[in-house]
Structure 1
């Protein structure tokens, strides 16, 4: 009988061991490889998907990501947040399934699907315990965390082998406690020194001085000792020695009142892009299937290209201010910063052309190789410096380089699928138009096409009956739309604060979809 064994497989993102002072941890399981050891389907190859349960929370990958392929390298990362370290250990189980439903039909989970055997013991599900401090795997698997483990089944049919890794990490934020960490230059070249700035922010991301017990910067995937550390400060700046190709890795950590938070490792491309003419990864935090991949595109009319120093400076500021700071002093301000380990940032390999709303249409063009060398992108943002009305369509939007509020609004459309909520026909509206993008995104919409759906959802949003506003867009013949979101002071109304329905949809994307490898 084969035992699960430790193997060396390239490509897994290193996970972080958790110091003993953590209060809660995030537990992650990354599956890097799945191989069929006999035939799952005749004729053809398997359509693999994975189901992982971490401490009672089940995560399922998209059953249509891999079709007709017996040997895949999915890099699925499954995550459970906020596991109390006092639990001591948690149970993890991994299942591999072969989907038998055509992808153009509704997903009937486990209906006629075949479960692969991936365990050398009885049954087909691999189950084991994860000891939290220090992190180790016991039970069905005996191995260290942050080590690639292989397990294969021994049944008579539908046998598969997997390679996976388990790791735990401190959370990227805690109540009233955030860390903002950014490097400069955004796209370093060999021989450059890189400045890494770590800043302590309160729960509302306000500039009030917050003094941390200590702030640390780590480099080179080395958790043994910080590259730099300061005690009793609200900000710390660390400068690296000269960097060399192909990349730099770093992370920031903050401890206050015994509670640590951790940005997670970031990998930064140094020198030429990995693929000529392709995108440059300027901040990678993990596998693309478990991250929102944001590609920043220079407008051809305002920047000379991706390496334009003005563009790179502007993009460093944009990431810092549009993603890692909302700046409006509310508890909802930190939704992106508190999920900073769920975003990958890239610089496009070419230029785009944004022209705004012309003749009631969103006019913009991404780089010519967008559908080939940038096909991995969840969203592309074409950044310009002149002022016009920005818009979103497809998987791209336009935004002005310093208008961070508009950037966040357009990002609400893509990748998060939020609809516009502004309309001058809504009671109390300060808008002068009613020509936005109105639609219902399920699940967890912020705008409804059926008034009954709006009313039925009020309790889920903590709102009372009669809170739904109804309107018909300009030029609309029959379609009416409703929302219970505020008529002013809302991300999708006037580019300000994300409200309950906005937060719910964003949180679902980041902490359900991405946490299941379905970004």
Structure 2
């Protein structure tokens, strides 16, 4: 067990997540990772009108952020002269080919056209737009204004509007030879609790250890197959950029303990370093006590909901007494660690997820639905929490955790799973939110989801697509849905077995990854 401390230095974030990124510039000032890409993120935190409007009812601000030539458009926010929009743009940049990346921030006030031919606001001391250069490793911001990476930077322009923004550069969470996992317990701390943050270094080939051969069997597999790797050093950072709160060498895991944690937001991140590789989990915020606003409880918040895949855990009313049930919290903890942080593709993308707890319970059941052809037929029925439509419309998916055993399903953006069936968690996540079709025979969910499908309704489409996945037309195979009359054939080039959307729920293959990366890219552009 690592060090322990009192809460006297814990940062309490009342409104924003600015503190989540404190310390990033210190990590990136160290030797660069062997990974070739970093994530450049620009966040517009605050805008104050100082003359850039002719509207007596208030300003209608909108914005464009350009990173390395790629535009990200935001707004408008109507009738407000002072806004805190948290407009966020992210772009992956190859550090092997570029040491810097240009960033341009444009602010405009709408006259109803939203084409930057309205009133472009002067936010730069040298002109209307802010032209900046971001040095990637170590991170630094220069240009029309300059500042510290991950800290607030302000610009007043020449009287049109004041703007505050921040720029961050994140190392990846995994390389081909190293990954880092960082978890905290209890999952939803309460004021006065002792919180333990555990960091682990893994070899980058972590796989869920669920060996269920048949989706209908309901038999849980082993919890997790860990591939630990001895790290040159492991670090835990909590809130402050002055240095790591835990630094150990020559270990695969260690823990940092915080005693008597106060109400508010606890912010932390972990790094691992081995040889030329340095990886970073990204900064996370977990709520201590009641949520600051709304009903959802953020237990691992990495960025704005429009830029992240938001996964909300829902307690099953037949299995748990409430969202505060210790058994539910323990099961959700195991699912985050064992599934989402227990398979290499998902672990490498851990910075792209937010995890939440729903404040009200739902229900997942298997009910009898006999048909003349199948008298023993049953249907999976999912009941969302009563306030789901009102309070969780922003969620990308809901996960109803249940402890009884039956064949799970996904529909309407929600899925069910047993917390011990880790492969099922990721398989159903493939359905919701990523929109992947089943790849097993012969009674799954089959469809062609555009763009970037993993399943096609004609052989010709599959054969035309196969080369884009590094395959040949001969790799296309047929899955027959036996339920309609006549039976319908579907086509795919993914392998069988050994695939996320097949019955064995193994690692995602090329078509799965293509579809999920497309979804992640949409999130990075603020479209989640």
| Category of TM-score, reference length = shorter chain | 0.7 to 0.9
2:7 match: none
1:3 match: none
1:274 maps to 2:292: yes
Say if 1:362 and 1:393, in contact at 8 Å, map to a contact too: no
SS of the equivalent of 2:249 reads: strand
1:28 match: 41
Say if 2:176 and 2:204, in contact at 8 Å, map to a contact too: yes
- The CA deviation string for residues 136-180 of structure 1, in whole angstroms up to 9 with x for no partner, is 32122222222323446669xxx7664321122322122210011
Between 129-138 and 493-502, the greater mean CA deviation after superposition? 129-138
2:509 match: 499
Cα distance in 1 for partners of 2:486, 2:128 equals 56
1:246 match: 264
Correspondence for 1:518 among 496, 506, 527: 527
1:336 match: 346
SS of the equivalent of 2:250 reads: strand
1:137 maps to 2:141: yes
Say if 1:98 and 1:113, in contact at 8 Å, map to a contact too: no
Please show how residues 98-497 of structure 1 align to structure 2 within 5 Å: 116-120=120-124, 125-151=129-155, 162-205=163-206, 207-219=226-238, 221-275=239-293, 278-326=295-343, 334-356=344-366, 359=369, 362-423=380-441, 433-434=442-443, 436-471=444-479, 473=481, 474-475=483-484, 481-494=490-503, 495-497=505-507
Between 361-370 and 287-296, the greater mean CA deviation after superposition? 361-370
Say if 1:33 and 1:163, in contact at 8 Å, map to a contact too: yes
Cα distance in 2 for partners of 1:100, 1:455 equals 49
Say if 2:61 and 2:77, in contact at 8 Å, map to a contact too: yes
1:429 match: none
1:6 match: none
Alpha-carbon shift at residue 241 of structure 1 (Å)? 2.4
- The CA deviation string for residues 17-68 of structure 1, in whole angstroms up to 9 with x for no partner, is 12231236432111224567545999997583534223x4x1535x6x7575
* Shift in CA distance, 43/273, structure 1 to aligned 2, threshold 3 Å: closer
- The CA deviation string for residues 328-368 of structure 1, in whole angstroms up to 9 with x for no partner, is xxxxxx11111111111111101001114753754111111
* Shift in CA distance, 60/98, structure 1 to aligned 2, threshold 3 Å: farther
Unaligned runs of 5+ in 2: 1-13, 207-224, 370-377
Cα distance in 1 for partners of 2:341, 2:462 equals 31
SS of the equivalent of 1:325 reads: coil
Between 112-121 and 457-466, the greater mean CA deviation after superposition? 112-121
* Shift in CA distance, 455/350, structure 1 to aligned 2, threshold 3 Å: same
Cα distance in 2 for partners of 1:444, 1:253 equals 33
Query: TM-score under structure 2 normalisation?
Result: 0.81
1:79 match: 90
* Shift in CA distance, 34/516, structure 1 to aligned 2, threshold 3 Å: farther
Say if 2:62 and 2:107, in contact at 8 Å, map to a contact too: yes
* Shift in CA distance, 13/457, structure 1 to aligned 2, threshold 3 Å: farther
* Shift in CA distance, 163/40, structure 1 to aligned 2, threshold 3 Å: farther
Query: TM-score under structure 1 normalisation?
Result: 0.82
Alpha-carbon shift at residue 194 of structure 1 (Å)? 1.1
Say if 2:200 and 2:228, in contact at 8 Å, map to a contact too: no
Cα distance in 2 for partners of 1:169, 1:275 equals 28
* Shift in CA distance, 378/350, structure 1 to aligned 2, threshold 3 Å: same
Alpha-carbon shift at residue 233 of structure 1 (Å)? 0.5
* Shift in CA distance, 177/372, structure 1 to aligned 2, threshold 3 Å: same
Cα distance in 1 for partners of 2:168, 2:325 equals 38
SS of the equivalent of 1:238 reads: strand
1:430 match: none
* Shift in CA distance, 497/12, structure 1 to aligned 2, threshold 3 Å: closer
Aligned residues: 477
1:11 maps to 2:16: yes
SS of the equivalent of 2:323 reads: coil
Alpha-carbon shift at residue 264 of structure 1 (Å)? 1.6
Cα distance in 1 for partners of 2:298, 2:142 equals 36
Cα distance in 2 for partners of 1:415, 1:49 equals 28
* Shift in CA distance, 279/96, structure 1 to aligned 2, threshold 3 Å: same
Alpha-carbon shift at residue 245 of structure 1 (Å)? 0.6
* Shift in CA distance, 117/452, structure 1 to aligned 2, threshold 3 Å: farther
